[in-house]
Structure formats: structure tokens, C-alpha cells
Amino acid sequence: QPQLVESGGGLVQSGGSLRLSCAASGFTLEHYAIGWFRQAPGKEREGVLCISNRNDIEYWTDSVKGRFTISRDNAKNTAYLQMNSLKPEDTAVYYCARRAFKCNVISDLYDAWGRGTQVTVSS
């Protein structure tokens, strides 16, 4: 069965950086798009950004442009989310999810999800 495990979350001061990992098992990452989603307390889950199987990148949240970057290492079967210049409003549980080939902001189109990793940004 496909499985995704996020790691790398934690507490960081405003302006700091974190690098999240999304380790895949049970499938070959290179054939899938990996989307990053986040959910803050009391808010709906939102799509953040995505990398396709061809390494096309889609930004779904304007506020992270220029601060967040997504990448993959197919040899390690792992995707990454590099988060720089973090702000308190970035505080959320971050999830990675897979979809065959292409990115899509519609979360229901992703058929496997990790359990999430908490990112907390202090003022």
C-alpha cells in the first residue's frame, strides 16, 4: 500500500526556516505529483504548492511565493518543502499527498496522504 510520512516540522521563530520531508514507500515517487497542503486551527485545509512527475511546480497560495520551494529526490523516494522567511500565519499542520502524474489543487484527487507534521512559527 502507498504510504507517505512527513517529518521536519517544529517550532521556529518568525523569519526562520524549516525543511519538511515527505518520505514515500509502497510506490515509485517519480511517477506521481506531490502536493503540500496545510491546515491551521479553525481553518479549512488549503493547498500550498505542488510538484508534478515532470517537476513542474504550481503555487496555490500566493503568500508563500518567494518563500517556499518544493523539490524531489527520486533516488531517495522523497519530496521536500523548503520554507524560508516563515511567518506566524504559516503555523499549521502540513500534509503531503500524491496524485498520478499531474498536480491539481483539488485535494479529493489525491489518493494517499501522510498524517501531517506540525509547523509552529512564533512571533
List, for residues 14-37, the tens digit of each pLDDT value.
Answer: 999 999 999 999 999 999 999 999
pLDDT at residue 105, as a whole number: 96
Helix (H) or strand (E) holding 11: strand 10-13
> CA 52, 104, 17, 113 torsion: positive or negative?
negative
pLDDT at residue 69, as a whole number: 98
Nearest to 8 by CA among 73, 68, 82: 82
pLDDT at residue 61, as a whole number: 97
C-alpha cell at position 85: 522567511
C-alpha cell at position 116: 501531517
Could you tell me which residues come within 8 angstroms of residue 42 by beta carbon, excluding any fewer than 6 positions away? none
Which residue positions in the chain have pLDDT lower than 70? none
pLDDT at residue 26, as a whole number: 97
Q: How far apart are CA 117 and CA 106, in angstroms?
A: 20
pLDDT at residue 18, as a whole number: 98
pLDDT at residue 107, as a whole number: 95
